[in-house]
Chain A
Amino acid sequence: MSGMGPNSAMPSMDLSAPSPVAGGVNDGSTTMAIVPMGHLSDPFNTFYQTFTSVNGTWSETTPPGVGTNGGIVVASPTNGAAAVLPFYASSVSALSPLANGVSVGAGEVVGKMTTNPSALSVDPASGVLAFVGANGQVRVQAKFDAPFKTATTLSALQQAPTLKSCGVQAITSVAVEPGGSLALGLRCSKGGTSAVAQQNGSLWSIDSVAGLASDAVVRLDVDGPGLLALVKTGGMHATLRALQIEGSTVAASPAISIMNYTLRATSASAFVGTSRSDIVTLVGTSHADAVVLTPGAKTTHVAPLLPLSTQSVVSTSGSDVAAGLTAISVNKGIATIKTLGSGGAWTTEKVIRVSIQYGSAQ
């Protein structure tokens, strides 16, 4: 039986995701968190789940009918889409329309997406959806169920005169801006550089992000009038910083060192003043840490320290990041949702038990 097979031996393969696809998105009153559950050391028994908070009430909302071992990416929870990334022998991604954080209606099968939190983007107002394919194509759909069109390809970008300074190596992220134009996160050929390119009709222009040392655009979100990018440097002294991009103006948050941590999850979900913030969840040897990165503002560590089992930290408040911070820790099929109270203590808000179908991906 497919999906319920015996634990037969599987050939070895590289199942490590290039960047974390756990995290979350806040979209007004709806927040979605993506967390891995099950036996986390075994990719075949790790099942990503989505949990949704609507007006502060959490429930499990994992897209049904598709194995989630490859990860889930979510765009615009209120009126957007969730994509289940390919895993193992699969060469496609499954797209599911979202309404208030819940998968509604029949899903769609699309080409294999790249494994990145911002591989998928939806403009909730127009319904325009875009994703980055693993084959280097950016595919766009005017609305759910409409035919997909190829907006651009890696080879087209490599030949674009305006992008020569980058020497595009890969498209890592996409964001659909109000009006339907696209912004792309790019990895450049010059070592340690990346760029954000914005579409202007048929032309692409590079923002001044390229001037900043970064080797990956980890995520890319629409931020009011501009874009918010979370960029990472690699190597021995890996760092993360958030960038607010408006035209040619770039405001950067201070860089945080992640050299002693593993980046576990990212979410871009709340405003601090006028800037949307990225919340990143890091895990060290003895504890997990969550850091709020806000362009032009001081970096804040979420206190107190979180247990190692914390998989994701998101904010349920669209206007005050500190007001709705929620941490989700996982023990196999049990997710414990804790909120940060005004006294600075984490309080268990809800425990959700998920029926994990161990062995169903073998």
Chain B
Amino acid sequence: MTGMNTSVNAKSAYITSQFNSALLLQFGIIVGIVIVIAIVATILLRREEKNPGGNGFLISNVTMTVEPKARKVLRVGFGVLWIIDGLLQLQPQMVLGLPTQVVSPTVASAPNWINSLVTHGADAWLRHPITAASATVWLQVGLGIWLLVANRGWWSRGAGLASAVWALGVWVLGNGLGGAFIAPISWTTGFPGAVLFYALAGLAIALPQDRLRRPLFALWTARLTALGAAYLAILQAWPGRGFWSGGGGNGAYPSMSTSMGSVTQPGFAASIQRWFTTFTSHYSWAYNSIVVIVLAALAITFFTNKVRLMRWSTIAYVVFAMINWVLVQDFAVFGGVGTDVNSMIPSSLFVVAVYLCTRDAVEATALADLPHEKGTKESVAMRKIGALCAIGVFLVGAIPMLLVGILPGTSDAIAAAANGGVQNLSSAAPGFTLMDQRGQQVSLSSLRGKTIVMAFLDPVCTTDCPVEAQQMRLASEQLGPNTVMVAVDTNPLYRSLASIQTFTDNEGLADNTSWYFLTGSLDQLRSVWSAYGVDVQLLPGGAMVAHTEPMYVIDGQGTMRSTWTAVTSGGTASSLESQSGVSLIVAQAKKAQS
């Protein structure tokens, strides 16, 4: 993440409140969509019922073969998973935590091209985090409902396609290709990524449903699954990767479970992790042997394409995947920022579906003999109406998500969540009388009627102050002449008029009539620092002056309206955090004017 501020609080009350408001608004839109669909559907149904023999939009007489069991497992299983994932996105810490605590670490050691791709996606999210996070909730809940409700025809295949497209996007931009670059990659920890299975399932659902019954399709899906399992088994068995030895608690398994156990989570989950740490400290070889055997058995049996053998290896895989989900993946959703149930449940659904494809495969000539289903008029119509509503929910998420990448500007969310957030004030601003860079006396009363954005800057500071000055310049351009930018010198040694003039010139602020860089005698400055709670310290050892960096917004009546600590951690005026800082200045100044 480019210069992501480590002081940003992912659980900020401001962010939570903004997120909840956005969700509430979108929920209102969804309720509106559902009501409109219900009204239109009622009218259509009445019309189509008058023509019982015809094929209408909601009522049709088309019959289809019974949905293949493999498809049903994928559709229902992944439908439920999408809904769970959507609900997990309701956690307020997802707004800033998803890109910074989940996405960013997955690509820290990735090659530049993937790092750049993921960083681009994360930056787009962080520019409009509230929009992106709330959109993700509805997009995933909508996808889940759509998959569950639409069970046949294009309505259902469309859900599969949408699911595959979104999952692939998440796998590349949010999952860094399934953590393929986080050493040591392992099936036990989630490689090749849960969302890859969502994408594969989506593609399978998007196919014509009888394609899943074809022996050739079953054969190749089984063989490809066997190859994947063989690769994972070899990877797991490869010596020197840390999985065979407990290493006195430093082996791969005990290290992972120690790390998992250190996250705040329910007591029973933490107890399981503690037990697993102790167990694998001594018996990593035993656990790893089972992992290798289960994966190898799956690979061998799926390659043989013998249904009876595949059944037993599928059962073994599902059972052990659930054990691994508990022991290694720590249920995936407790503690930290849980975004999904991790890979064990999706991969189990996938393996079961591949097994069912093989078991239920029939030759094309026998397709006609399969039972067909028509469904009652009511059930077909209700499923279509339900699917329409689900598509509505999906679009309430998908449309804003598409716009996130192209929306201009940067929201104030990151800045407002940084350094303790924004405090609202309502007391009178302490008075001051100082000299500006033009050599003219400026006081609080002389600025009455203007909204004041006030900061405290050191003209020879090398990091934050020049960035703050640039933020104020950019905010000033957006706010116009009714808002003035006032900076007070905080360096007790560099406070001459010439000094603040030079700083003003070099920061490109000389022509800005709303810019006031104020200085005065040391006593005058100390008095202002004290009144505005600015702590100034001269440090030894060639360091710059240390000073606190509050920003204040004072309204035209001289009342302090809000304060926060300047957000400059991006290091440049063009960084995402700085731009968010500009948006925060503009938002707070406008609020003071309203």
**A residues whose Cβ falls under 8 Å from a Cβ of B:** 1-11, 37-38, 47-49, 62, 64-70, 84, 86-92, 94, 96, 106-112, 145, 147-148, 333, 354-357, 360-362
CB distance from A8 to the nearest CB of B (A): 5
**Is there an interface contact between B495 and A92, defined as CB atoms closer than 8 Å?**
no
**Is there an interface contact between B5 and A8, defined as CB atoms closer than 8 Å?**
yes
Q: B549 touches which one: A1, A10, A147 (CB < 8 A)?
A: A1
**Is there an interface contact between B502 and A92, defined as CB atoms closer than 8 Å?**
yes
Name, among B503, B544, B549, the residue most crowded by chain A CB atoms within 10 Å (CB to CB).
Answer: B544
**Is there an interface contact between A354 and B541, defined as CB atoms closer than 8 Å?**
yes
CB distance from B500 to the nearest CB of A (A): 8
Q: A6 touches which one: B6, B466, B494, B545 (CB < 8 A)?
A: B6
Q: A355 touches which one: B458, B494, B541, B549 (CB < 8 A)?
A: B541
Q: With CB as the reference atom, state the residue of chain B lying closest to A357.
A: B543
**B residues whose Cβ falls under 8 Å from a Cβ of A:** 1-7, 458-467, 490-496, 498-500, 502-503, 505-507, 535, 538-549, 569-572, 575
Q: With CB as the reference atom, state the residue of chain A lying closest to B522.
A: A106
24 A-B pairs with CB atoms under 8 Å apart are A2-B464, A2-B546, A2-B548, A3-B463, A3-B464, A3-B546, A5-B569, A6-B7, A8-B569, A49-B541, A49-B542, A62-B541, A67-B461, A67-B542, A88-B462, A88-B571, A89-B466, A91-B506, A91-B507, A92-B460, A106-B496, A108-B494, A148-B498, A357-B542
Q: With CB as the reference atom, state the residue of chain A lying closest to B4.
A: A9
Q: A11 touches which one: B542, B549, B572 (CB < 8 A)?
A: B572
**Is there an interface contact between B463 and A88, defined as CB atoms closer than 8 Å?**
yes
**Is there an interface contact between A108 and B498, defined as CB atoms closer than 8 Å?**
yes
A3 to B458, CA, bound (A): 10
Q: A65 touches which one: B5, B491, B503 (CB < 8 A)?
A: B491
**Is there an interface contact between B543 and A67, defined as CB atoms closer than 8 Å?**
yes
A112 to B3, CA, bound (A): 25
CB distance from B323 to the nearest CB of A (A): 39
Residues of chain B within 8 A of A96, CB atoms compared: 493
5 more contacts with CB within 8 A, not counting A107-B493, A111-B502, are A9-B3, A11-B570, A86-B462, A90-B460, A111-B506
A69 to B491, CA, bound (A): 17
Q: B571 touches which one: A37, A65, A89, A354 (CB < 8 A)?
A: A89
Q: With CB as the reference atom, state the residue of chain B lying closest to A47.
A: B542
**Is there an interface contact between A64 and B493, defined as CB atoms closer than 8 Å?**
yes
**Is there an interface contact between B571 and A90, defined as CB atoms closer than 8 Å?**
no
CB distance from B4 to the nearest CB of A (A): 7
**Is there an interface contact between A1 and B466, defined as CB atoms closer than 8 Å?**
no
A70 to B461, CA, bound (A): 12
**Is there an interface contact between B7 and A361, defined as CB atoms closer than 8 Å?**
no
CB distance from B501 to the nearest CB of A (A): 8
Q: With CB as the reference atom, state the residue of chain A lying closest to B490.
A: A2
**Is there an interface contact between B575 and A3, defined as CB atoms closer than 8 Å?**
no
Residues of chain B within 8 A of A5, CB atoms compared: 463-464, 569
**Is there an interface contact between A357 and B541, defined as CB atoms closer than 8 Å?**
yes
Residues of chain A within 8 A of B548, CB atoms compared: 1-2
Pairs of residues from A and B, 6 with the lowest C-beta to C-beta distance, nearest first = A47-B542, A67-B544, A68-B542, A357-B543, A109-B499, A65-B493
